[in-house]
Amino acid sequence: MITEEFEPTTDTVEEEASVEACTKCTACNTVCPVARSTDIFRGPKALGPDMERFRSPQEAAVTPGLDLCSGCKLCEVTCPSQVSIQEYIRRAQNQGAREKGRSLRDWVLGRTRLLGKLGSMTAPLANFGNSNPLFRVLMERFVGIHRRRPLPKYQWLTFERWFRRHPRPVKPRRKVAYFYGCWVNYNDRRLGERAVAVLERNGIEVVVPRQQCCGIPAVVNSNMDLARRYGQENVRHLTPIVEEMDIVASSTSCGLMLKHDYGHLLEIPGSERLGAKTYDIMEYLWMLHEAGELDLNFETVPMRLLYHAPCHLKSHGIGYPAMRLLKLIPGVKLEEVDEGCCGISGTFGVKVEKYDLSMKIGSRLFAAVKAAGSDQVLADCETCRMQVEHGTGATSAHPLEILARAYGHG
């Protein structure tokens, strides 16, 4: 009889349908960077749990305003009832895109690795095009990428190729696999080099396994099927590796995908083990420090630095390991700019219809950075760094670069 398996007086409801757990407390709306910057966006509560009640499998899932969600996940971080607000929005976006079709731009933006491959193969040409005003006007007109948004520079030598020629250290104490992500591979090889240098300095051998794009660009461009394909590929490549070593990622968003979204959002079987062994690189280094294994022979770095915590780092739920680590370095004067989201949210702020909104979201951060005045603004996330540079004219860096510098890698 059903009676035996039925316990209405427990709290298990939320485990199966977390949408039911929403108590309308509205905490998510108060932290949503989009909702607080514009009154044309109903906020995560409305688009997540509220609308979820009206979405049935047979129905079209397109809700107006759905594509204005930038995907920062702050709502999920804040929710006292652990409602996966963001996941409901993502699923609906995805179903909506499946029903009404995807634009060429979103198709392209979802395929960062393909873009990176093309961009790095034709690096000088691509970089010229990406910075040529005439070309940008055409790009805005025909593709929908805002003309004022600076695009990342591509480099001809990829991190993968650089690493193949990189000599292995002798007698390492540990081994770690590095998930470098598309950014390091095609746009910022030097960050990867420094990551390797910092890890090796601490007696850790870096292994670079075969890997695919983490899938987050595909997720935010409403292509969860593509993201799942990428994810499955990564799970296939990385699962054997985690039996022997941990994985570190230098991009907060890539790390978050591996850690959390493969299991939850994309529901890729077997991804839990991978997620449990994945760390943000700064998180990993701090753990090393706590284990007493971090090399503390730092050179003095006399710099006044500002730290901006990326939204996706907050989603990791690990605090700000970068702040803690950098405070170990003599000479570093580090302050946090606690002014919320920078607004770019990956490819969100690149799109022509969202550029202004993205700059408006970031305006409080820009003002604070300008007022503070510093040598550099640090952020763990690559697009945050792009946005801060664009919005303030300041220079930016990954916190790891300061650490590398303290180890003597200028």
Partner 1 sequence: MPDTSTGVVVIGGGSTGAGVLRDLALRGIDAILVEKGDLASGTTGRSHGLLHSGGRYCVNDEQAAIECVEEGRILRRIARSTVEDTGGYFVSVTEEDQAWEPRFAEGCRRTGITCERISVDEARRREPALSKHVRTVFWVPEDGHLDPFYLVVGNVESARRRGARVMTHTEVSGFLREGDRLTGVRIRDSKTREEGTIACQSVINATGAWAGLVARLFGVEVKVVPVKGTMVVLSRRLAHAAINRCHKPGDGDIVVPGLSVSILGTTSAKVPHPETLPIEWDEVRRMIEEGAMMLDGVTTARAMRAYAGVRPLYDLGAEAEGREMSRNFAVIDHQERDGIKGFTSIVGGKVTTFRLMAERVVDVAARYLGVSTPCTTAEVPLNDRDEPLDQLRHRPSVLGVPKPHDEEPPLQPLLCECELVRPQDVAPWFKDPAVHDLEDVRRRTRSGMGPCQAAICSYRLAARLVTDRGVDGPTATRAMADFLETRWRGVRHVFWGSQLRNMQVTTGLHMELYNVDRQLMLDPVAGTSPPPLAGEGRGGGLAQEPAEVAAQR
Long-range contacts of 321-326 (CB under 8 A, 24+ apart): 321/280, 321/282, 321/283, 321/285, 321/286, 322/282, 322/378, 322/380, 322/399, 322/400, 324/286, 325/282, 325/285, 325/286, 325/289, 325/399, 325/403, 326/378, 326/399, 326/402, 326/403
| Number of helices (H), then strands (E), in the chain | 23, 8
Nearest to 375 by CA among 340, 409, 404, 335: 335
Write the CB contacts of 203 (distance below 8 Å, at least 6 apart in sequence). Answer: 169, 172, 173, 174, 293, 295
Site string for partner 1, 357-386 (x = CB under 8 A): x-----------------------------
Question: Scanning residues 35 to 54, which ones bind partner 1 (CB under 8 A)?
Answer: 38-42, 45-46, 50-54
Query: What's the number of CA atoms in the CB half-sphere (13 Å) around residue 290?
Result: 8
- Kindly state whether residue 57 participates in binding partner 1, applying the rule CB under 8 A: yes
Smallest gap from residue 96 Cβ to partner 1 (A): 10
Q: Residue 39 is encoded by which pair of tokens?
A: 């009154």
Strands of the sheet containing 396-397, edge to edge, are: 332-336, 303-307, 376-378, 396-397
Stretch near partner 1 under the rule CB under 8 A, chosen from 56-64, 149-157, 204-212, 253-261: 56-64
Mark the segment that binds partner 1 (CB under 8 A) among 1-9, 124-132, 253-261, 308-316.
1-9
The verdict on 58 binding partner 1 (CB under 8 A) reads yes
| Position among 59, 164, 165, 317 found at the interface with partner 1 (CB under 8 A) | 59
Exposed, middle or buried by CB within 10 Å (0-12, 13-18, 19+), for 273?
A: middle
CB of 183: closest distance to partner 1 in angstroms?
Answer: 26
**14 or 375, CB closer to partner 1?**
14
Q: Please report how close the Cβ of residue 357 comes to partner 1 at its closest, in angstroms.
A: 5
Nearer to partner 1, 58 or 297 (CB): 58
Q: Give the nearest distance from C-beta 68 to partner 1 in angstroms.
A: 7
Choice from 295, 299, 335, 356 touching partner 1 (CB under 8 A): 356
> Applying CB under 8 A, what is the total number of residues that bind partner 1?
48
Asked if 297 touches partner 1 (CB under 8 A), the answer is no
Residues 79-118 that bind partner 1 (CB under 8 A): 81
| Interaction site with partner 1 (CB under 8 A) | 2-3, 6-14, 16-17, 20-26, 38-42, 45-46, 50-54, 56-60, 62-65, 68, 81, 352-354, 356-357
